Structure 1
Amino acid sequence: MALSASGKALYNVIILGVAFLLVFTAFQTCGMIQTVVLRDDVDFHGSGYDSLAIIYAVFAAANWIAPSVVALLGARWSMLASALVYTGFIASFLHPIAGVLYSLSALLGLAAAVIWTAQGNYLTENSNEQTMGRNSGLFWAMLQCSLLFGNLFFFLELEGMTSITPHLRTIIFIVLTVISGIGVLTFLFLTKPPEEFSSLSVQEGEETSGFFKRAVTAFVRSAKLMLKKEMLIISITNFYTGLELTFFSSVYGTAISNTKLFGVDSNSFIGISGMLIGAGEITGGLLFGILGKKTIKFGRDPIILLGYVVHMICFYLIFLNLPAESPIQSSHEGSYIGPYIELAFACSFMLGFADACFNTQIYSLLGSYFKSDSASAFALFKFIQSAAAAIAFAYSLVLLLHWQLLILVVCGSFGALSFFYVEHHPPRNEI
């Protein structure tokens, strides 16, 4: 029995979520542990932070050409090709070599721009005004399950160990590479979005024009969209999500690992922290996905306000609980109130939940307000977010914890206010 248009669209969203779940189970686990893995490799001369900074710096720049790539290849093939690059990057940790890792980091930055632009475009083309919030929340919850599975595996493998041996590293990254490879194959099951849900991202007559013209058109439309007042203002919110992405995805886990008063299991606690971040992300995604039709009646800003308040409380607790030098180096020092591992884990959940508040609502807003330019809108979102992440990874090498938290507090305040403005002042020609 053939699926209805809405059934086919929901099928595509679920398969999209499964594919991203698998690929990012591997990649997000890799991102959270790579600074510790490379730190314990005596033959590697480099830094995990450097690799991540390269990824996000190239990611930022590549978002300007990503819509053109998606226009040429289509969303489905763009995601498949990009996922192959993710798999290759993860496999490089089987025998890390600085030059190879940094080169693959740059290539991954390009692939990241393409896969996220294509994902935003494909999600929008399988959604309408009524289902955009639900689909954003559903996809986000499925994606963030990746934090549970990968980090559970990492915790079980590292429990009771004070360092990551070459043998253990090999086991971890063989498993992660295989998981990512299965995710690549899952993209093959995506189908063409139903015409009833398809966006107007390709103007009439564009489909018959040459590839080069389509690529140039996509770039020009991105440039024009970036200059819109609403896009410039929401970019402040996007910038903040990049800063806090860096913090929860790498800096916070490293800080927990470096807090040696947590005991011999401080390294394996990265896995538990990652799982709790994922639990927070999933809770937020499911909550706002299931209740999407109800919450949209009150606007998106109450959810952003909730995320902002949770973030501010969380940052203050982290400031009190972890040593100032913990993001940079191992520390045997105490903190203002501890440190307490239970409080650190509670903050992990809060980081994930608040991040879900921001990202699900940004996805929903972009998909609703910029539907006719969805590929460009999501590319610009990732451009700003990844540029902020690259900056954050760079300063994470030198700034003590309290300075990093102060930056998050200030940028988070401006980011929340910016979202409130755009939510109540939508682009006139898009609604």
Structure 2
Amino acid sequence: MADTTDQSVFDTTPNKTADARVEDGGLDRPSWNNGGYKVMGMTLPPFRSPLVQVVLTGLVCFLCPGMFNALSGLGAAGQQDGTVQSNASVALYTTFAFFGFVSGTILNIFGAPVTLAFGGFGYALYTASFLCYNHTRNDGFVIFAGAWLGICAACLWTAQGTVMMSYPTEGEKGRYIGLFWAIFNMGAVIGSIIPIAQNWKSVGNNPVNDGTYIGFLVLMIAGAILAFFLASPGKVIRKDGTRVQKLQHPNVMTELKGLYQTFISDPYIVLLFPLFWASNWFYTYQFNGYNLFLFNTRGRSFSNLWYWLAQIFGALAFGFFLDSQFLTRRNRAIGGWAILMVAVMVIWGGGYTVISKYDGSERRRMGSDPPTTPNIDVKDSSYAGYVILYIFYGFLDAMWQTYAYWVMGALSNEPRKLAYFAGFYKGIQSAGAAVVWRLDAVKTPIPALYGSSWGLCVAGMLFAAPVIWWKVTDSKITADDYVPELQFSDASMGANEIRI
């Protein structure tokens, strides 16, 4: 088809900026992926800008872990019994816990694009294992896929955390974290439509059909491929003129020493470990102890959609508060802690109304194998109340994750240290997840999962309080954050090189 685009409407002339010019035979010309384009009078941000890179990272997570969340949010990964999924999750988070501590090293060696792509393919394999399980009942393949995904996911989330925390300016970190979280969770929202469409006529409590898994599989592969288009940190310049420090690639032993030195130089990070530990713990209760237990296949598919939709609003709302300019950054940190603590007490306290409905014999039934479930359907009168509580659980989760990343980003601007922080975060939270999924696999009573989730959230907030109070300051900008003047030299630069 011939191109009939009106060039007066679509202007493809890049904006010339000082940091986007390259030397070409003595003349400066703008580089297409640094200068930005005008579309219908609107100037799009440059491809190598922090905004575009965070959005691109969000799209990768939209298609990979976002779809994984949609699948997991169904309870039992779409199966009728949660045992095989719980055992796969134990394997997943066990390997994730270990590789979370060394994934910063992997990121520094291979870079963000390769690390993200490697992680994305792991999610695709995990989904394929459940498609296989629908026909073969091969527990071993599912558990192996879970263990492999733990390695891949550790790499993906460390790369994601480093991009999200180090690319934006200090005044943009909360908004960018919220923006990322909204894009990422939109993947779970869109992904939740797949099982709804495929299983809407299923009024019983049955496994989801093959079409559900195939849809997830195709999208995850696309996300892994998209990751290769991400720009490296050394090529990204913020709009205020500061630069994202380019990561060096030292040997593995040097990186392991750096991990240890970060732990020694910043020992306060230990106080954030309970916050990290709790951040994945409550998913087991919410997905398997609440959504899977209470609803039939159609009911849990529909509630899953609302859970992830609530996460988008939670991330955006809390992210904008954390970047609001009417308070100093330190006051925003303290205020955010207070808001989150109140939300923890109110929402988890509201959840007690569900647990308290079960007397002693029914509580034992909740831990039985197989459990006798209520099988609440979307057309039942009691459905709306349970879904509203589930929506608030999703809203609280988004607030928790957004605040954790924002606090880590407020503690440093140095990408390598942030890679270690992100590695600690994902490693610790995955260790907790491995423990709680094992508890679910051995049929720990649901009230115990509920109580431990609430208690750990409270403990995480209390242990984090000293870090918030003493370590979050009003500014972390240093002279090293700024991009030096551009220098061009015929002897040292090729025609298409950019010196920063």
TM-score if structure 1 supplies the norm length?
Answer: 0.86
Pair 1:424–1:200, CA change in 2 (3 A): farther
- In structure 2, the partner of 1:273 is 303
Pair 1:274–1:351, CA change in 2 (3 A): same
Whole-angstrom distance in 1 between the partners of 2:139 and 2:192: 24
SS at the partner of 1:131? helix
Contact 1:255 1:327 in 2 (8 A): no
Per-residue deviation, 1:6: 9.9
Moved more, 302-311 or 94-103: 302-311
Whole-angstrom distance in 1 between the partners of 2:393 and 2:210: 30
Per-residue deviation, 1:332: 5.3
Whole-angstrom distance in 2 between the partners of 1:395 and 1:56: 13
Pair 1:333–1:73, CA change in 2 (3 A): closer
Per-residue deviation, 1:54: 1.2
Structure 2: gaps of 5 or more residues: 1-13, 15-34, 37-44, 477-500
Q: Where do residues 5-404 of structure 1 align in structure 2 (5 Å cutoff)?
A: 8-33=49-74, 35=76, 37-39=78-80, 47-96=84-133, 97-161=138-202, 162-164=204-206, 169-193=209-233, 194-195=236-237, 198-200=243-245, 202=247, 206-207=248-249, 209=250, 213=251, 215-227=252-264, 228-257=266-295, 266-294=296-324, 297=328, 298-321=331-354, 323=358, 324=363, 325-326=365-366, 329-331=370-372, 340-372=382-414, 373-397=417-441, 398-404=443-449
Contact 1:252 1:327 in 2 (8 A): no
Per-residue deviation, 1:102: 1.0
Number of equivalenced pairs? 406
Whole-angstrom distance in 2 between the partners of 1:70 and 1:181: 20
Whole-angstrom distance in 2 between the partners of 1:292 and 1:427: 13
Contact 1:39 1:47 in 2 (8 A): no
Contact 1:280 1:350 in 2 (8 A): yes
Contact 2:60 2:223 in 1 (8 A): yes
> In terms of Rg, which structure is larger?
2
SS at the partner of 2:101? coil
Pair 1:36–1:182, CA change in 2 (3 A): closer
Contact 2:194 2:215 in 1 (8 A): no
User: Which AA in structure 1 matches 2:457?
Assistant: G
Contact 1:40 1:164 in 2 (8 A): no
SS at the partner of 2:209? helix
User: Which AA in structure 2 matches 1:147?
Assistant: A
User: Which AA in structure 2 matches 1:185?
Assistant: I
Contact 2:407 2:472 in 1 (8 A): no
Whole-angstrom distance in 1 between the partners of 2:352 and 2:276: 24
Contact 2:70 2:189 in 1 (8 A): no
User: Which AA in structure 2 matches 1:271?
Assistant: S
Q: Deviations over 1:43-94 (max 9, x none)?
A: xxx6211111111111111112211111111112100111011112212222
SS at the partner of 1:411? helix
User: Which AA in structure 1 matches 2:254?
Assistant: T
Whole-angstrom distance in 2 between the partners of 1:384 and 1:239: 5
Pair 1:333–1:146, CA change in 2 (3 A): closer
Contact 2:322 2:333 in 1 (8 A): no
Structure 1: gaps of 5 or more residues: 258-265
Per-residue deviation, 1:270: 1.4
Pair 1:308–1:6, CA change in 2 (3 A): farther
Moved more, 21-30 or 277-286: 21-30
Whole-angstrom distance in 1 between the partners of 2:229 and 2:77: 36
SS at the partner of 1:47? helix
User: Which AA in structure 1 matches 2:284?
Assistant: T
Q: Deviations over 1:354-413 (max 9, x none)?
A: 111111111111112033201100000011111111111111233222222221222121
User: Which AA in structure 1 matches 2:122?
Assistant: V
Per-residue deviation, 1:13: 0.8
Whole-angstrom distance in 2 between the partners of 1:278 and 1:9: 25
Whole-angstrom distance in 2 between the partners of 1:219 and 1:182: 33
Pair 1:327–1:15, CA change in 2 (3 A): farther
SS at the partner of 2:171? coil
Contact 1:307 1:353 in 2 (8 A): no
Contact 2:344 2:458 in 1 (8 A): no
Whole-angstrom distance in 1 between the partners of 2:187 and 2:288: 15
Q: Deviations over 1:117-153 (max 9, x none)?
A: 1111122332121111111111111111122112222
Quick one: percent identity of the two aligned structures?
18
Whole-angstrom distance in 1 between the partners of 2:277 and 2:246: 25
Pair 1:362–1:201, CA change in 2 (3 A): farther
User: Which AA in structure 1 matches 2:317?
Assistant: L
User: Which AA in structure 1 matches 2:262?
Assistant: L
- In structure 1, the partner of 2:29 is none
- In structure 2, the partner of 1:261 is none
Pair 1:280–1:288, CA change in 2 (3 A): same
